[in-house]
Homo-oligomer: A and B are copies of this chain.
């Protein structure tokens, strides 16, 4: 009753990131590596379903990520952990209740409507900007979302599959916050904070909470969905603030047969909520970013040609850091040759252009050179990034 499944995907990959110093010197940082998961994410999993009768079913899903180039898993220290998905479900004709660690609704739009599925050098800039690639300036909006792709401690509901093409997922993740009553005794305690306001540092007790949903419609060649979420990324009890990242996105794909088109628009905004508290600071801005993607895939016999353009534009950066808001554009192209349904050779290449201080890089690339070059005044600024993958993917 248990299915063992997995993917191993490795590629020879090359990357080059170019920065430019204030004096105009181009500085390249490059690397050649055996990379993992350029076409399909490497994994090992166990799953199964039990028919409970009466239209009810119980099921479980344990899926671990891994880096087969080194044999490591995703846990700290390199051990295997079921970080990709670890859920138990109870389902009926009314839908599915799912507990555990699962994908967030807002992530699916970024993955499903990118012809590169966020993977390898060609993965969407929306994903790159959301996944932790830093801008180099504070408050860039996409960063620091602990629940971007997945959420632990989640309770999910999925619509049943018989709604005439309508599908949906709703997810609430607990932050498992420890509450103190009276609240003033929350460590380090209100008395200590009054005596020394510097103690009112972020405890982030509310971070980790996620509430979001996704509603879609799939019929024939069309697939489209909207998603929205509020993900709590920081908090400070004594200042009385909760820092949320509000996300919404819309995406669609349409399969004309000869060619399948993809598109997505995504919006992220960081919002600091204030509680009624005498420690409230003055108002802050709401930094954020918008992302967009257009792409296509063309099947030709056993081959698949893929291409995408994606863009990210940052908003509300601190005044004076850059003359204009940072932005980045990326073009990606790829070729897949299917040796079978399970095994495929693939090649991908992408080119990324940063403007006004954006510091995004193609997937897998090393960091930009951002130090002060000898004799220079000011740091080198990220400019271009490019890379390729030449790989082999095997599903088991």
Which A residues lie at the B interface, using CB under 8 A?
A: 1-2, 4, 6, 8-10, 12, 25, 27-34, 44, 46, 48, 50, 52-53, 56, 58-60, 62, 64, 66, 68-73, 75-88, 90, 99-101, 152-155, 174, 176-182, 184-185, 187, 189-191, 339-340, 342-343, 366, 369, 371, 373-375, 392, 394, 396
Q: Given known contacts A58-B394, A68-B62, A392-B99, is B153 in contact with A33 (CB within 8 Å)?
A: yes
A177 touches which of B31, B155, B396 (Cβ 8 Å): B31
Complex-state Cα separation, A202 to B84, whole angstroms: 37
Task: Quickly give the copy total for this chain.
Answer: 3
Complex-state Cα separation, A177 to B66, whole angstroms: 21
In the bound complex, do residue B174 and residue A34 qualify as a contact, i.e. CB atoms below 8 Å apart?
A: yes
A62 touches which of B44, B46, B185, B189 (Cβ 8 Å): B44
Complex-state Cα separation, A31 to B178, whole angstroms: 5
A10 CB to nearest B CB, Å: 4
In the bound complex, do residue A86 and residue B68 qualify as a contact, i.e. CB atoms below 8 Å apart?
A: yes
Q: List 10 A-B contacts (CB under 8 A).
A: A2-B396, A6-B62, A10-B88, A12-B155, A30-B178, A31-B178, A64-B80, A69-B99, A69-B153, A185-B369
For residue A79, which residue of chain B has the nearest CB?
B79
Q: Given known contacts A4-B2, A33-B153, A179-B30, is B50 in contact with A71 (CB within 8 Å)?
A: no
Q: Given known contacts A88-B392, A101-B68, is B78 in contact with A78 (CB within 8 Å)?
A: no
Complex-state Cα separation, A339 to B58, whole angstroms: 9
In the bound complex, do residue B68 and residue A88 qualify as a contact, i.e. CB atoms below 8 Å apart?
A: yes
For residue A78, which residue of chain B has the nearest CB?
B75
Q: Given known contacts A69-B101, A72-B75, is B185 in contact with A373 (CB within 8 Å)?
A: yes
Complex-state Cα separation, A177 to B25, whole angstroms: 22
Complex-state Cα separation, A369 to B181, whole angstroms: 10
Complex-state Cα separation, A142 to B182, whole angstroms: 32
Q: Given known contacts A27-B181, A81-B80, is B396 in contact with A48 (CB within 8 Å)?
A: yes
In the bound complex, do residue B100 and residue A394 qualify as a contact, i.e. CB atoms below 8 Å apart?
A: no
For residue A59, which residue of chain B has the nearest CB?
B394
In the bound complex, do residue A88 and residue B33 qualify as a contact, i.e. CB atoms below 8 Å apart?
A: no
Complex-state Cα separation, A33 to B172, whole angstroms: 12
Given contacts A33-B153, A53-B340, A75-B75, 16 further A-B contacts (CB under 8 A): A8-B60, A27-B185, A34-B99, A34-B155, A34-B176, A60-B396, A70-B86, A71-B83, A71-B86, A72-B82, A73-B75, A73-B81, A76-B76, A184-B374, A185-B373, A187-B371
In the bound complex, do residue B34 and residue A154 qualify as a contact, i.e. CB atoms below 8 Å apart?
A: yes
Complex-state Cα separation, A86 to B176, whole angstroms: 32
In the bound complex, do residue B79 and residue A75 qualify as a contact, i.e. CB atoms below 8 Å apart?
A: yes
For residue A97, which residue of chain B has the nearest CB?
B392
Complex-state Cα separation, A169 to B161, whole angstroms: 51
Q: Chain B residues with Cβ under 8 A from A2's Cβ?
A: 4, 6, 396
In the bound complex, do residue A178 and residue B366 qualify as a contact, i.e. CB atoms below 8 Å apart?
A: yes
